[in-house]
Structures are given as structure tokens and as C-alpha cells.
Structure 1
Amino acid sequence: MTKPEAFNVLRTTDSGELIVVADYAANGRPAANFHDLAKLLRTEHTIWETAPVPWGQESGLTGQDQAERWLRGIRDSGLKVRALMGFCGGGIYASVMADRIAEWQGEHPELLLFDPGFAERRMLTEHIESFYRRLAKAFTEDQLADAKERLAEADAGASNALELAGRLTPLCQEVLKSAIVRAGWSEQAAGNTADLVNGYLHWLGAAVDLDPRPGWARASVLNSSNPDIGLHIIPEPERSEMFGEAHFFDVVHADLLKTPEVARTADELLARPVVTAGSAQK
């Protein structure tokens, strides 16, 4: 099989079954990723990770557009989808794809969510603000005031999250890139980081309008101990209605995907019999 264009291949086997993991794949982030988890899993199936839209091609793509790009590659592979997994916002895309795959496959893939949560518009501006804080020493007082003003203007002028992501593109390429260079990075490294941030904002903004709840009702959640992430911020009565089952681990969010106990639980869930599409969710 040729390498799929819209995925990173984490494992290749001859089982004929596929596990798709959804995340915004980025090198260098502090939190563990699905590459770490794949090394710990004992399941004997091929594992693909959703790859971001190539830089410069993300403008205007809705959440459905993003999902369709991956779904085409999955269907064209001819592989039976055993499971989908999603980390944080990736759980939104994993859920939407799981429902679509069940339509043509006739059975629901297993759905595993790691610290899931909804995408919200405010997260886009908060992400930029986090870079302002980290790069504070690279701004003069006037530069920082101007950067904050440009962020506020972009937010005020956008009617939805995807439009906001588009309005933040010049801010990424001009304000953030320049600050990163002033912080001592090369032009190339600064440009790559700005592109990465821009791609992430479009991926996140596009997810805001997707509704993952139908798929989440069948999902198994593996949640970290961080009190402000995942199921911890959802009231218990809503939690039990929103998700199929929950597993909690005494491990911080950043280490969730590299913890052996989490991998063992994931393997147990992946080994369960598949559910025929149209059968009871719980």
C-alpha cells in the first residue's frame, strides 16, 4: 500500500484493520502524542495519524472539509476501521469520522477519547495570547500594545471562529514571526512556527461548528488528573449522558499518551467486539 497523503503512518501491519488517531500533529510540543502511545500499544493493527492540511491550503476549510479529506483516504485504503482515537480537540474530528465510517462499514468502530473537550471560539485568541506571554521579552511596550490591539480587532471583526482564524493569519505571519525572530530564532524557524500556529488555529476554528455528541455517546474516555481538562469540567449528570464510559488516571494531561497504564486500558478497549451500526449506543 502506498503512503496515504493525509496521514502519518505510525504502524503498518497485515491485519487488514486500521486504527485512526486524530490530533493536530506537531513536533516539539510538550504534551505526549500518539507517536508515544503507539509505541506502548500491543494491538496488531495498522495505525494512521491524521496529518494537518499542508501549510497555505487551510484557508476557508470547514470542519466537514477537514474530515472529508481524511475520510477519502480511509475509504480508499480498503481497510476495515477497527477504531478511532482522539486527543483533546481531535476527539471532535474522531467522533464525526466514526459516525461516517459506520454508514459504509455497517458497524461502529471503537471510539476512544483522551481528555476530550469542545472547541470554542475563545480558544483561538487565548492561543495567540499565550504566545504573547511566552515572547513578552521580545516585545517593546508599544509593540505589545499594538499586537494586543490587532488581536482584539481581529476578534471583533469576525462573525465566526473560522473567519477569526483567517483574520489571525496576517497576525501570525507578521506579529508572531517577527517576535520569534527577535527572540533569537532563525527566519526559517520563525516562519515554520508561524505556519504551524496558523494551521492549528484553522484546524481548531473549523472544529467549533462540528457536533461530536452523537459519537461521543458511544465513546470510552481516558481522562487525566488535571482538574481543568476533559471530564473534570463537565458536571457528573451531564458526563454520564454525554459519554459511554469513563476511565480516570492519576497522571497529568501532558503525560497521558505516554503512560503504560493508559496504553493497557486502551488495548483492552480495542479488543472488544465491534458494535453493529444501528444497535443501542450504551
Structure 2
Amino acid sequence: MSNASSWSVLAAGQSNRIILAVDFPAAGRKEAGFTDLAAKMASAWTGYELRQTVLPGVRLTERPPGEYYTEHWINGTDWADYEVVAVIGYCAGSIYAAEVAQRLTRWQTAEPQVVLFDPQLIDTRVLALEMRKMIGLAGPIFTPDEAQQARERADQIAQQHAGAMYDAAIAILGLYREMATTAFARIGLDNSRLDEVTRLFESYMTYLSAASQVDPIEVWKRSIAITSTDYARMENQGETVVLEAAKVVGNRFSLGVDHADLMRSDSAVQILFEQTDF
């Protein structure tokens, strides 16, 4: 049986062969997700059940170790009853996908095929970039000076706590809560909604911080990576977390598609048809 607290079924299959999708699913996000990808793959995946990770209810202050998420997803399912043909990771989920695939060799003789969409490693700079993204999404709610000051504070936090992921994440969360409180007051939204979005951001910071403790490199060497124009831009800008990932992936396909549309793009689907065994 599958553990419903660890995996959600996105598409029912016709056999015991399954595809696992590792992501941080969030309602309303602009980036395409695995539901979009499954719709594009259509009949090619009809014979497989597609399952996506369900996040554990862990708080940032608990500072979970890297294996916490993997154990949450692995425990509680009778994997001997299934054949996992592939594990697919999106962005930071690519790190966990490697660990999940490796763990599954306890129950099956062949390691699942690993496919990565815009794989990257995680450091404190990534936390600052995520905070910058949130500031950008707020648009005109903040003045240009307020937005710039917040971006600079995020960068300072990343630098000050370089190598101390959870310390950085806790400080970034504090900055997010401060900015969100101001934004909600200005647009007149209820505080219950503020608590909800802050908790979601905290969950994401925890997910990223724990991922920084997982070493995916050996599995990534055997993987297929599908990357976007945003990924290429980060390479050109010298972002270490992308450069180091790009060096080790086994077989990379760079597409002229932005990060948000990668998993709904026809070109990514074509790569899956041509380069995978499932």
C-alpha cells in the first residue's frame, strides 16, 4: 500500500509500475507542475501510476536533517509491491529525487531512471534569491526604496550566515513575515491569511534547508537533466548552485523555454519520449 500522508496519486495506473515526482507543490504557483507534465505525456504514461510527494508537517525551528524528508516519503509504503520505473525531480526536488531513487534499490534490483528539471544545489544564496522573488511578486505594494532595502537585507543575511542554512532560513523567514505584515496591512487582508502564507513560506525554507544536507552527486551522474533559459542565465551569471549541478548531470538537454513553463513545454515532452525508457 501507499502511504497517503507521504504521496498523493496524480494519475492512477493500470499496473504496479509507478513514477514518483518530487516537488514542493503549492496552490496557485505560476510554475508548471507534474499535473501539467502528466497531461502532456497523455497515453505514454497510461500504464503507470504517478505519485507526487506530500510534505511532512515539520517546522523550521526543528531544523530537520537532510534525510528527514526522504524517510518521510520512503517509510510507510510497501515498496516491494511496486516497480518504480522513474523518479523525477523539479528544481530543489532534484536533490531529494536522487536520494529517493537510491533508497529504492533496497527493494528492487534496478535503480529507477532519474530525470531532473532545472536541478540545482542549495546554499544560503538560494534563500536570498527566493526572498527576492517574493518581493518581486508583491509589485507596487512596496515602494522602490522599501523593495531595494529588503533585497539588500536578504543578501546580507545570506552572506552573514553562509554555511549555516537554518540560521539563514530563520532570519529570512523573519524578514518575510515583516514584509508580508506590511503588505497585508496596506491591502487590507485578514491576519489569518497572513499566517497561512507565512507558514507556507516557512515550509519552503525548511524544505530547502534540509535539501542542502543531501548529497545527490553520484545519482545525478546517471541522470537526465532538462534545463531552461532561466537556468542558462544563472549559469552565465556564475551562480554556483547551478554551475556545480550542471557539471555533474549525466546527460543534459538545454531548452529554449523559461523555468515556469518547463514542465508544460512540448520540447521537454519530446525529450522524455526520446531519452527515457518509460
Shorter-normalised TM-score: what interval?
0.7 to 0.9
Partners of 2:157 and 2:168 within 8 A in 1: no
For residues 268 and 235 of structure 2, the distance between their equivalents in structure 1, rounded to whole angstroms, comes to: 15
Q: How many residues align?
A: 271
Letter of the structure 2 residue corresponding to residue 59 of structure 1: E
**How do 1:188-267 and structure 2 match up within 5 A?**
188-226=192-230, 227-229=232-234, 242-267=248-273
Q: Classify 1:233/1:3 alpha carbon distance in 2 versus 1 (closer, same or farther; 3 Å).
A: same
Q: Classify 1:266/1:188 alpha carbon distance in 2 versus 1 (closer, same or farther; 3 Å).
A: farther
Unaligned runs of 5+ in 1: 273-282
Unaligned runs of 5+ in 2: none
Partners of 1:61 and 1:206 within 8 A in 2: yes
Q: Classify 1:160/1:178 alpha carbon distance in 2 versus 1 (closer, same or farther; 3 Å).
A: same
Partners of 2:92 and 2:208 within 8 A in 1: yes
Aligned to 1:275: none
Aligned to 2:277: 271
Aligned to 2:124: 121
Partners of 1:154 and 1:164 within 8 A in 2: yes
Aligned-CA RMSD value:
3.5
47-56 or 95-104: which moved more?
Answer: 47-56
For residues 171 and 132 of structure 1, the distance between their equivalents in structure 2, rounded to whole angstroms, comes to: 11
Aligned to 1:60: 63
Aligned to 2:106: 103
For residues 239 and 191 of structure 1, the distance between their equivalents in structure 2, rounded to whole angstroms, comes to: 34
Shift of 1:173: 3.8
Partners of 2:131 and 2:151 within 8 A in 1: no
For residues 158 and 246 of structure 1, the distance between their equivalents in structure 2, rounded to whole angstroms, comes to: 29
For residues 138 and 187 of structure 2, the distance between their equivalents in structure 1, rounded to whole angstroms, comes to: 7
Q: Deviations over 1:25-56 (max 9, x none)?
A: 11212211111001122222111111222364
TM-score if structure 1 supplies the norm length?
0.80
Q: Deviations over 1:209-228 (max 9, x none)?
A: 21110100110111223322
Shift of 1:199: 0.8
Aligned to 2:5: 5
Partners of 1:217 and 1:241 within 8 A in 2: no
For residues 253 and 133 of structure 1, the distance between their equivalents in structure 2, rounded to whole angstroms, comes to: 16
Aligned to 1:14: 14
For residues 152 and 276 of structure 2, the distance between their equivalents in structure 1, rounded to whole angstroms, comes to: 48
Letter of the structure 2 residue corresponding to residue 83 of structure 1: A
SS at match of 1:228: helix
